[in-house]
Amino acid sequence: MPTDQQAVTQLSSQFTLTDIQVTDVFKQQNSWEDKFRQLMLLGKKLPQLPIEYQLEQHLVSGCESKVWLLHEWNNDKLCLIASSDAKIVKGLISVVLAAFNNKTQAQIQAFDLESYLAQLNLLNQLSPSRANGLRAIIDKINQYSR
């Protein structure tokens, strides 16, 4: 059985979606309903988080739904794995991981997250609690990248 560090690294390498791919997918959608559908499909791209990692200690506080987030630094890159008990939140996690997973600290700090989220036009469509949860996930990743 792999160690936690090996498991995080292995699972994060299975998630290959990029911010450019996410942006391209959302540019092709004309309505919020289409974007919502795509968001749900993006959530299916997350690797399955084994139950043994769905622990209280990995929960992101500030999220209405349960969100488990684990990280590991490997070869100077931040490896992230995450999941949620809510399908829409899994989609939001995919959007965030596409921006930060397997990136160096310099790449993470240089990434214009606000521009990325504005291009996707998601925040305006989310409920305040979902938007706060998304920010909580991003804040946690930013803590890991310092």
Give 91-105 pLDDT, tens digit per residue: 999 999 999 999 999
Q: Does 79 participate in catalysis according to the annotation?
A: no
103, 13 in Cβ contact below 8 A? no
Fold of 4-145: Sufe protein. Chain: A (3.90.1010)
Q: Given the DSSP bridges, would you call strands 77-84 and 67-74 parallel, antiparallel or unpaired? A: antiparallel
Q: What is the pLDDT of residues 4-52, one digit of tens each?
A: 788 899 999 999 999 999 999 999 998 989 999 999 999 999 999 999 9
Catalytic residue among 7, 25, 63, 95: 63
CA distance 135 to 128: 10
Domain limits of the chain? Answer: 4-145
Angstrom distances, CA of residue 47 to CA of 20, 23, 90, 94, 123: 19, 20, 10, 10, 24
